[in-house]
Amino acid sequence: MNLPGRVQAFAERHGLWTTAEPVVAAVSGGADSVALLLILHELADMDRVRLAGVAHLHHHVRGDEADRDAEFVGQLAVRLRLPFELAHEDVPFQARRAGRSLEVAGREARLAFFQRISQGQPPPVVALAHTRSDQAETVLLRLARGAGPRGLAGMVPRRGQRVRPLLEVSRGELREWLRERGEAWREDKTNEDTAIPRNQVRRVVLPGLARVNPAVEEALARTAQIQGADAALLERLATAEASRLVTVGDDGVRLDLEWLGRLPEALARRVVRRALEIAHPGRVPDWRDTEAVLNPSGRRLLVGPVLVELFGQSAVLSSRGLTRCAGKADTSLDVVQTLDVPGSARHPSGWWEVEATGPTPFSNALRPALAEAASGEARAVVDAGALGRHLTIRGWLPGDRVQPLGLGGRKKLQDVFVDRKVPRDDRSRVPVVVDAQGRIAWVAGHVVGEPFRVTPLSEAVVVLTLRR
């Protein structure tokens, strides 16, 4: 069973890493992550990957068992002569404080841990042990919640600095591979708790479906791949339509209902979602929100925190998130500049200049530039198709949120400034680059937006450069 060869082929196909990028394996001690580490170690021996270390997060959920997990992973790292990073997070406390489940709090803790790891220089790639079996479970869980193509696309091979090299390998294959080599792993007894939705799908739903189709895992993973390709195309088409139908003015976000009604429903829903996201950046609209705008019950309605008012063939969407700060004279909050691609824009007081060059056809030759620009500081390399040709540069607004490169969720821009120790008086002078739909592509000098990440599917890139 040549699993290392299959994993390497998958990594090359999806651009998961280059031999110049350091890769850190996230290892829980379970069979999947142990197999991932040993496969990467074999590839490192063949100079196919630069394996830089092992990372383990102690969740403090399972007492002595969790202590032994951390000890096991540490010993494995010593045996393989790899640096070992152990971090602790009191997940039960965080769950109680935030009023969330252990599962959600644990996931957020892991994402924050991976984000910290990937901030090294050069930024390491963090390898996660999600398998084809995990992908199948994810698709079923999202299907049960009523997800569309974007949700049914499941987990992607690479998101920011997080990669999933095992998405084409089943959990059973990994365990067989470990047994053949006489390798041990740790078992997490919480995986037997069917009160947890994923465990219910894993232990009850999938075995039942396997009686209908023995290759159900592979079929569901294939569904995710198909839905992902379809969703990417629809999002690109929706981006083009939104650039025509959605505008931002002093009264709010204006949506052209006449042309919206001429679009196929799949595109119309996505355009409405973009308009709602611009009107209230901190919230992700759902199906009911888009339905309310497409089929309004009156001339004035509330869609979550967004007020929607109909005026003839237009709808105006507004919320507090669009309110500008008062009393900030002569700051970036009061200055809005347009930036065409290619082109440049300069603050009237000379505080900054942002230049956009491209679009340039994307090739592997650009990967060193991508690694250099991953921090989003003086330069950012972004996907030209996602970015578009017409950008706006403004200051940060109350309620602004950004999805930093490699982070699963959105983050308040104010929190980004706090994390990066930007003095309060300087924050208004940070240029924020947004696309035609109002999505933050680059907080210049600080972070790049995840939706604009360059992937192996990117056809062209744009380089954004900050000068002060």
Least Cα distance to 276 among 453, 385, 438, 441 occurs for 438
The yes-or-no verdict on residue 33 having pLDDT over 90 is yes
Q: What is the pLDDT of residues 377-436, one digit of tens each?
A: 688 888 888 888 778 888 877 677 888 887 767 888 888 888 888 887 778 788 999 887
Kindly report the backbone phi and psi dihedral angles of residue 21, in degrees, each rounded to the nearest multiple of 5, phi listed first: -90, 130
Kindly report the backbone phi and psi dihedral angles of residue 160, in degrees, each rounded to the nearest multiple of 5, phi listed first: 65, -125
Integer CA distances (angstroms), 382 to 15, 331, 455, in order: 16, 27, 9
Which whole number is the average pLDDT over 348-366?
A: 75
Residue 402 contacts residue 410 (beta carbons within 8 Å): yes
| Residue 218 confidence (pLDDT) | 94
Work out the angle at residue 8's Cα, subtended by the Cα atoms of residues 4 and 13, and round it to the nearest 5 degrees. 150
Q: How would you class 365 by CB atoms within 10 Å of its CB: exposed for 0-12, middle for 13-18, buried for 19 or more?
A: exposed
CA 95 to chain centre: 22
Coil, helix or strand for 112?
helix
Q: What is the pLDDT of residues 6-31, one digit of tens each?
A: 999 999 999 999 888 999 999 999 99
Report the alpha-carbon distance of residue 188 to residue 66 in Å, rounded.
Answer: 9
DSSP state, residue 404:
B
Mean pLDDT highest for which of 108-112, 169-173, 243-247, 441-445?
169-173
CA 102 to chain centre: 21
Work out the pLDDT band at 324, boundaries 50, 70, 90.
very low
Q: How would you class 100 by CB atoms within 10 Å of its CB: exposed for 0-12, middle for 13-18, buried for 19 or more?
A: middle
Kindly report the backbone phi and psi dihedral angles of residue 317, in degrees, each rounded to the nearest multiple of 5, phi listed first: -110, 130
In sign, the C-alpha dihedral spanning 145, 173, 221, 161 is: positive
The yes-or-no verdict on residue 127 having pLDDT over 60 is yes
The yes-or-no verdict on residue 76 having pLDDT over 90 is yes
pLDDT-above-70 percentage for the chain: 91
Least Cα distance to 124 among 48, 177, 230, 53 occurs for 53
End-to-end C-alpha distance for the chain, whole angstroms: 55
* Domains defined for the chain, CATH in brackets: 3-225 (3.40.50.620), 250-322 (1.20.59.20), 332-467 (3.50.40.10)
Least Cα distance to 132 among 165, 175, 178 occurs for 165
Residue 1 contacts residue 180 (beta carbons within 8 Å): yes
| Residue 369 confidence (pLDDT) | 54
Work out the pLDDT band at 227, boundaries 50, 70, 90.
very high
Q: Does 3 or 453 have the greater pLDDT score?
A: 3
Work out the pLDDT band at 59, boundaries 50, 70, 90.
very high
Work out the pLDDT band at 74, boundaries 50, 70, 90.
very high
Work out the pLDDT band at 1, boundaries 50, 70, 90.
low
The yes-or-no verdict on residue 350 having pLDDT over 70 is no
In sign, the C-alpha dihedral spanning 380, 159, 406, 71 is: negative
The yes-or-no verdict on residue 326 having pLDDT over 50 is no
| Residue 370 confidence (pLDDT) | 56
| Residue 327 confidence (pLDDT) | 34
| Residue 385 confidence (pLDDT) | 85
Q: Does 297 or 240 have the greater pLDDT score?
A: 240
Of the candidate ranges 119-128, 230-239, 246-255, 331-340, the one whose mean pLDDT is the lowest: 331-340
| Residue 377 confidence (pLDDT) | 62
Report the alpha-carbon distance of residue 462 to residue 15 in Å, rounded.
Answer: 19
The yes-or-no verdict on residue 65 having pLDDT over 60 is yes
Q: What is the pLDDT of residues 331-347, one digit of tens each?
A: 344 456 778 888 888 87
Which residues have CB under 8 Å from 182's CB, separation 6+? none
